[in-house]
Amino acid sequence: MVRGDATGAATCALRRRQPALKEHAFPPPTAAQLTTYETLYYAALLRLPKSWTREQKLERVEMVLRGLGLVKARDTIIGNHMMRGVSGGERKRVSIGHELLINPAVILLDEVRWE
Please report, for the chain, how many H helices and E strands are present, in that order: 4, 2
Name the more confident of 21 and 115: 115
Whether residue 44 has pLDDT greater than 90: yes
The count of C-alpha atoms lying within 13 angstroms of the C-alpha of 105, restricted to the half-sphere facing its C-beta, is 0
H-run or E-run covering 100: helix 88-100
Look at residue 8 in the predicted model and tell me its pLDDT: 55
Q: At what angle do helices 36-47 and 88-100 cross, to 10 degrees?
A: 20
Average pLDDT, the chain: 80
